[in-house]
Structure 1
Amino acid sequence: MEFPHPRPIPTRATSALATLICLLTLGGCGGSDDPPAPTSGTPASLGCDDSLKTEFKPDADTTVLLVKAFQKGDPLLLTGAATDATPVAGSDLCMVKLSVGPGNAGPADAPSTTSGIGMEIWLPAKTRWNKRIHVLGSGGWGGGVETSTTQLATLINASGSPAEIAASEGSVSASSDTGHTDRLHGGSFAMSPDGSINSAGWRDFSLRTVHELAVKTKALATAYYGSAPSHAYFDGGSMGGRQAMQAAQSYPADYDGIMVAFPAMNWTRFITAEMYPQIVYQRDLVDNGIPIPTIAQLDFVSNTAISSCDMVGGQHMGYLIDPSQCRYDPTRDATVLCPGVDGNGGVRGTSSSANCVNLAQASALNKIWYGMTADGSVPDPAIDNGWDTALSSSRRWYGTSRGTSLYDAWIRSLSPTTNVNASPGGPFTIASDVLALNLQDPTMAESNFVNATGNGAARWKRLSYAELSHAFERGISLQAAFSNIDANNPDLSAFKARGGKMIHYHGLDDEAIPPQGSVDYYNRVTSKMGGLSATQSFYKFYLVPGMGHGFNGYHNGSANPNAIPAFPKREELFAALQDWVENGVSPDSLMARASSPAKSMPLCAYPKKITFVNGDPFHASSYTCS
């Protein structure tokens, strides 16, 4: 599996394992290939050797674990022999690994026991530093090898890794392990061995990592080059996007510019709600002896939804430009209902497809598209398709947009056992982890979750709609104990006052995080910050039609594998952020493009929408933002 991305780390062959790990963590792989801006840095006393271990001591909790110099073309390895798949250094670099304590004491074999936050920082040659810091967010539950003295994190974040950014841009770049090293057991680190909340682990994961990454990277750069950086940027998608929001909300002085991609903000809310499709399957189908829809059935109905709503200028786009306008209802569509099935509105099924659905299966899909409710109810899509009604005590969270892959076809094409949201094979394990943590019951999770009081036993299958709603409320009530993991505070006044700038974008066909959550947040910020004009003076938000979930991995997120949406180039987005921060140029005109075949689409700063005027619907000149 491989993300489309700008200039990668030079490599002898594509590292499929590295990109697969990056993908399965839902992000954490970012970067830009802005040309380097060499500067004549002032020589500093710190060298790229073991002397740095004793000479760099920013505080009592920070330990330098490893320092290693790489020359241009060197394999990016600490041990072992290079292969054709081993990335190589794009220029002369200095790599420094740090551990930032105090961590969390406990039994050696407990996932909650840690030594602190691990960081891997890459510094370009002193004559090439462009005076910028460009650090990256993490993905999924984090974890990593930043504290390992035998492995490099850049081998995991192979697409746009800190090593690549340092080499190609000339920026100092860094990544973190979010305070723990365990990548196998998901959210297990956040539960203490006695089953209680691991407050230290939550604090490092939610809050300290994003701040310490700024503090330590700036301190090391200043010490190494002999002068302080002029600008600092945070760049994160998915969980890294949540970190980006946390930086703006909680540490507004840390970063001048923040790039936010499909953020996993509202963490306990949207992730708990990711269990909803599975509860719909269990309660509405399995309990009544009705099969869960297969992948082929999900695709059949989803593609019918696309074809019913994707006409622009008399042509089928193959994906939805604006899913908020699609009110497709499979319970009233005879062409997807099996022969003889009585649907709603007097419709009788006529489908000849082997992938036809019965009424209960069609109704289940309407529920999944609408989103989580406290009682499993769903309105008629003609009245409310899931984009019309605000959240409430009965409507808990948003659903996947019509036309989006319901099981994340992109991930499963490369990792067939990976489940996301409405996957027939079971839940996304991050969702079952969060459920277990909300309820402080490890047995609710899947088997990947381990704890001394009991391991995951998939007891989520027994939950009623009301019990899932209780777990949702429980997660909200535990925000203080979870160190404000939701990162959804709309008050960005301090970030604005210090001159910070932020670009936020979200794909309308995001398979993992419903884009409505980003829409809801931006609306709340606009209300809190004094209106749209005041907000857009420092924070702009874009919705990208057809784009799925995967940091720096722009891909078609729709259920139609033949769709070719136009996407923005990520290096152009980052360049726009830099231009806004450093030159005051507002990113008012952004473009999405596809090259084969050639297509283009304007990106409209929300709340404006892409609106067809006339002409070729696959060309940007045929649209306006209104």
Structure 2
Amino acid sequence: MRIFISPVFAAGILGWAVLPSAAQTAEGCTALANLPLEGGFVTSANVVPAAGDLPAFCQIRAVALPAITIEVRLPLDGWNGKYYQAGCGGFCGILGRADASAGWINAMRPGLMKGYATATSDSGHHGLSVVDATWAHENPQAERDWGWRSIGETNRVAGRLIEAFYGNAAGTSVFQGCSTGGRMAHMAALRYPEMFDGIISGAPALDYTGLVGTKMSWLMQANTDSNGDAILKPGKEKLIGAAVMAGCDGLDGAEDGQISDPRLCAPDLSALQCTAQTGPDCLSEAELGVLAKWWQGPVDSDGEQLYPGGVPAGSEPYWWLWLTGNEQGGGRLVNAFTTGFGAHMAFAEDPGAGWSPRDFDFDTHPAAMEPMARVYNSDDPDISKFREAGGKMIVWHGWADAIVTPFKTVAWFEEAAEIAGGRENLEENVALFMIPGMDHCGILPSPGGVSQANLDPLTPLENWMETGERPSSIFVEDAN
């Protein structure tokens, strides 16, 4: 049993007589609105009827002080006795955002469908969007809650509500998250090693200061001219992608329309350089310069690599969303993330709205972000305590992720294996799946149609925890 209930909370449960033991009725649900919480309070409790593939559930909203808003969903019938906690994406700040769609990334949906009691949070603040970082300005409490505390507080509050509603605590406990949710998944293994029996980490943004501060500033500076305009504009992604695929598709021994390992690919697009005038079918010298820097990744003035790898070859179909934007003005989320992060989150003293990633100094600013790295980052490869507790972790990442570097995830795994005494030892607790051609968190479908809809890491994780059989795949057709 992983959900932590302190003696104080346990005493409160025994002394609270509003609900009968194991009450799973509509009346029992709405009565939870009066449940006392230490360090917080319940704001609402209502029954949500069954719909589609989701059962009827008790939906509770609560606040863990100072400002972590939490949603807990408890099945009225058929609770499997387990608990499922979901992370959130980007800078978070929008409670239940992932459950507003049919996707499963950072959503409570996968757990609720299987009868789990489920929960998530806004990570400790309200944001106008997931790229809104203004909440963090001179707000160390909110930064701490986003960094790690909201994970434990969501678990604590959910545990209190589960015991009150069902009359007993949950047994097996699972955490699932992608991107920032993946960062949270690794943070759970580090800071709360005994809280979750199983963890699913997708495309983890392990190192926010290195990724969003350093690398994304590098990407933005590389594609900005002296007038502040983009050099590589929307429209040439297909040209670039076709040339990259032609040069690298067969390097893995199979010409199958995807790059199985972009580390093998060193794109050479010199044949596309414009000879007379620029146009849609060629690349200017400046555009080729942008690509060279994107593939290289950030370096300091001495040429030392500051972050592992650059933009992976094969990610071109997704550049409009993350890097270049489209003709309608959408996308370019890398620019939004790194601008907000630098202005309000990256440094102990926030520079504020006047900050621009063009101000980032690759010699001095990486070290200046160290105080906040200790709050946000979960790239420590030493997960010994989680392994000692018997926890199982599935880590997955798309090789064509243009925003969260897949090379960092591979580096983390290799370092974790070394600490564990070898890959074989680590794989007793950690299974890594690198997926060719997949976008960040499988948000956009690949040219071959592969997206998050093709994945089901929960089923093999459950089987691993129950039978000890290590998963060999997380694809839907193999997981069931």
State if a TM-score over 0.5 links the two structures. yes
TM-superposed deviation, 1:338? 0.9
For residues 458 and 478 of structure 1, the distance between their equivalents in structure 2, rounded to whole angstroms, comes to 17
Counterpart CA distance in 1 for 2:459 and 2:407 is: 26
Deviation at 1:287, TM superposition (A): 3.1
Partner of residue 505, structure 1 = 396
Match of residue 276 from structure 1 = 218
Alpha-carbon contact 1:122-1:162 (below 8 Å) kept: no
Cα distance in 1 between the residues matched to 2:297 and 2:128: 29
- What is residue 203 of structure 1 aligned with on the other side? 144
**Equivalences for residues 206-245 of structure 1 within 5 A:** 206-245=147-186
2:48 counterpart of 1:70: yes
1:590 matched to 2:480? no
The 8 Å contact of residues 398 and 440 in structure 2, kept in 1 or not, is answered as yes
Deviation of 1:408 after TM superposition, in Å, equals 2.9
Deviations along 1:564-597, one digit per CA (max 9) or x if unpaired, are 45888322x211111111221111x226589xxx
The residue aligned with 2:338 is 431
5 Å matches for 1:76-91?
90-91=54-55
Flag the 1:327–1:274 CA change in 2: closer, same or farther, 3 A: same
Give runs of aligned pairs for residues 13-162 of structure 1, distance below 5 A.
43-44=22-23, 47-54=27-34, 56-59=35-38, 61-73=39-51, 90-101=54-65, 103=66, 116-125=67-76, 127-145=77-95, 156=100, 158-160=102-104
Which of 389, 393, 405 is residue 316 of structure 2 equivalent to?
405
Describe the superposition over 1:40-70 as per-residue Cα deviations: whole angstroms up to 9, x where unpaired: x97348853443233x3342x1201000012
For residues 159-211 of structure 1, the C-alpha deviation after alignment (integer angstroms, 9 at most, x for no partner) is 3386644652111111101000123472211222xxxxx22111111111111
Corresponding residue number in structure 2 for 1:555: 445
SS at structure 1 position matched to 2:411? helix
- Which region of structure 1 is more displaced relative to structure 2, 246-255 or 429-438? 429-438
Q: Distance in 1 between matches of 2:99 and 2:327?
A: 19
Deviation at 1:339, TM superposition (A): 1.8
Distance in 1 (CA, whole Å) between partners of 2:252 and 2:388 is 44
- Tell me the equivalent position of 2:7: none
Residue pair 2:397, 2:441 contacting (<8 A) in 1 also = no
The answer to whether structure 1 residue 570 and structure 2 residue 455 are counterparts is yes
- Determine if contact 2:295/2:313 at 8 Å carries over to the other structure: yes
Displacement of 1:459: 3.5
CA RMSD, 1 decimal = 3.2
Residue 375 of structure 1 aligns with which residue? 301
Alignment of 1:309-388 (within 5 A): 309-311=248-250, 316-330=255-269, 333-334=270-271, 336-339=272-275, 354-375=280-301
Map of 1:473 onto structure 2:
367
Q: Provide the rounded CA distance (Å) in 1 between the counterparts of 2:305 and 2:186.
A: 27
* Structure 2 CA distance for aligned equivalents of residues 566 and 118 of structure 1: 30
What is the aligned partner in structure 1 of residue 16 from structure 2? none
Pick aligned residue for 1:191 from 122, 137, 145: 137
Q: Unpaired segments of 5 or more residues in structure 1?
A: 1-40, 74-87, 104-115, 147-152, 193-197, 342-351, 378-392, 422-426, 444-453, 557-561, 595-599, 603-626
Which has a greater percent of helix? 2
CA contact (8 A) 1:48 1:67 kept: no
Question: Which residue number in structure 1 is paired with residue 12 of structure 2?
Answer: none
Tell me, what secondary structure is at the counterpart of 1:97? strand
Q: Secondary structure at the match of 1:490?
A: coil
Instruction: Write the distance in 2 (CA, Å) between the matches of 1:154 and 1:290.
Output: 33
1:71 and 1:89 in contact (8 A); partners too = no
Q: Which residue identity is paired with 1:221? A: I
Pick one of 264, 289, 294 that aligns with 2:233.
294
Does the 8 Å CA contact 2:32/2:161 hold for their aligned counterparts? no
Counterparts of 2:327 and 2:113, CA distance in 1: 29
Residues 367 and 376, structure 1, Cα contact 8 Å, conserved in 2 = no
Identity %: 22
Distance 1:505 1:63, change over 3 A: same
Q: Displacement, 1:249?
A: 0.7
AA aligned to 2:70 is M
Change (3 A) 1:165 1:42: farther
Contact 2:88 2:121 in 1 (8 A): yes
Q: Cα distance 1:100–1:395, how it changes in 2: closer, same or farther (>3 A)?
A: closer
**SS of residue matched to 1:220:** helix
Distance 2:372 2:200 in 1: 28
Superposed displacement of residue 419, structure 1: 0.7
Label 1:164 to 1:486 Cα distance change in 2 as closer, same or farther (>3 A): closer
Counterpart of 1:175 in 2: which secondary structure? strand
* C-alpha distance in structure 2 between counterparts of 1:508 and 1:122, whole Å: 34
Shift of 1:219: 2.4
Aligned in 2, Cα 1:405/1:494: closer, same or farther, shift over 3 Å? same
CA contact 2:183–2:204 (8 Å) conserved in 1: yes
Between the two proteins, the alignment pairs up a number of residues equal to 453
Contact 1:406 1:511 in 2 (8 A): no
CA contact (8 A) 2:342 2:356 kept: no
Amino acid at match of 1:65: T
- Secondary structure of the residue aligned to 2:236 is helix
